[in-house]
Amino acid sequence: MEAMKIPKLFYGLGIFACVAIYVVYIKWHVDSKPISAITEGATESRRDELDHPTLTTDHAVFYGIMFDAGSTGTRIHIFKFTQKSKETPKLTHETFKALKPGLSAYADDVDKSAQGIQELLEVAKDEVPMELWKFTPLVLKATAGLRLLPGDKAQKLLDKSPSFWLKQAKPDSLRDPINICPYLSRLVTVEQNEVKEIFQASPFFVRDDCVSIMNGTDEGISAWITINFLTGSLNASRKRSVGMLDLGGGSTQMTFLPITEISLQTSPAGHITSFQMFNNTYKLYSYSYLGLGLMSARLAILGGIEGQALKEGEELISPCLSPGFQCEWEHAEIVYRIKGQKAGEHLYESCANKVAKLLYKKVHKTEAVKDLDFYAFSYYYDCAAEVGLIDKGKGGSLTVSDFEIAAKYVCKTMEVKPGDNPFLCMDLTYISLLLQELGFPKSQVFQLARKIDNVETSWALGATFHYLDSLHRLQY
């Protein structure tokens, strides 16, 4: 009888173990099926609370989709990341595609914007594995360039655009060529949110904050994140971060991490901003000067007013153009007749005086920038490449003095002939004086690059990082 009790005991324990294993397996199976085990109703309720298992597992693979809706084009960036537990994500691949024209072209026919967005969404579907669609955040951020449209065009575009485009916007108040504040109360009641509806109908992860207009400071911070991630400085305690300079068409930004407390304390109100990312708090000097981008600066130097057309027979005459030169120039949907002054003063000196008056007391000069390394982008890059200061494809390094020397040389040659680019004397003079007004000595060296490790040095990567991190923090 004793011999029979032992097998029965083991038999009972075996049944209990099997049941326990089965229960554990069922619980694990349910928890680990984020796509197939979710019903349609559950899917909708989870759109506001990201359950992204790939953010918490070793060697996880996940994606982020960022739409860059600018005034000259709409671009999609599809980023593929890997991440080990408790480490900063690593970018392993980027897919990029751009469509022209941009938002401003749809001021008279906004419905056409949907076609381009749908086309770019198909690119995302091809790139992101189907099993990760519901866990891949989809975001669109519009840049401030559309604010430079003439008032009636901007209003029409914004009135037919989703209200959420402006929910998180931080207008630059009186520095905005077009003050969008009066539109806010009306826009928040708009029922037809075309772009948002397209996003919600897609298979990707969409939140209420999926579409917004970025202010200049947000652009600067996002670009700073991008460049410091790509240079390996973001979370490297032994490697000093680099600053970021961006010269767009409508605005220019400068962002850097001050290395002394004095720099923080002596900075003007509104120039210091802090944010959290990857369990760190960053306190940055970041400011955007709307109206001091290269195209807006051209108009101001010429004597024009943003959004205001010329009267019949009126011309804009500038000392920065070749003597006797005249043509038509289009900016923000308005055509201006422009003309150079008669021969007299040296072109560089007369142009520099005009630019200095434009910049007088418009920017804050900070001594802290002299001790930091900076990367410069956009029109800084384009102008330097055009005159051979850097390689057009690879970029390079140069000083503030290099811009000044190039400006003097180009202006001298344009005293005789306008050349292929009639604005080159003006643009180079503006850039060299802008950098000096920001506080950079003539010996300051800048790195200029369009790509680092084959990744675009735009704000899109940094904005995607920040958005993914904010979603991750919402889980805990």
Give the active site residues.
219
| Distance separating alpha carbons of residues 135 and 207, to the nearest angstrom | 12
Do you know the residue count of the chain? 476
User: How would you class 177 by CB atoms within 10 Å of its CB: exposed for 0-12, middle for 13-18, buried for 19 or more?
Assistant: buried
Q: For the residues of 272-313, what is the DSSP string, one character each?
A: EEEEEETTEEEEEEEEEEET-SHHHHHHHHHT--TT-PPPTT
| Distance separating alpha carbons of residues 258 and 256, to the nearest angstrom | 6
Contact of 147 with 118, CB cutoff 8 Å: no
3-state SS assignment for residue 101: coil
Instruction: Give the other-Cβ count within 10 Å of 235's Cβ.
Output: 14
CA dihedral 191, 196, 201, 205 (to 10 degrees): -140
Find where tokens 């000067």 sit.
289
Angle at 441 (CA atoms; ends 414, 434), nearest 5 degrees: 50
Least Cα distance to 63 among 124, 140, 141, 142 occurs for 124
Least Cα distance to 104 among 162, 68, 153 occurs for 153
Could you tell me which residues come within 8 angstroms of residue 365 by beta carbon, excluding any fewer than 6 positions away? 437, 438, 439
Q: Are strands 60-69 and 138-142 parallel, antiparallel or unpaired?
A: parallel
3-state SS assignment for residue 95: strand
| Distance separating alpha carbons of residues 443 and 169, to the nearest angstrom | 38
| Distance separating alpha carbons of residues 300 and 305, to the nearest angstrom | 7
- DSSP H helical ranges for 108-178: 113-127, 151-159
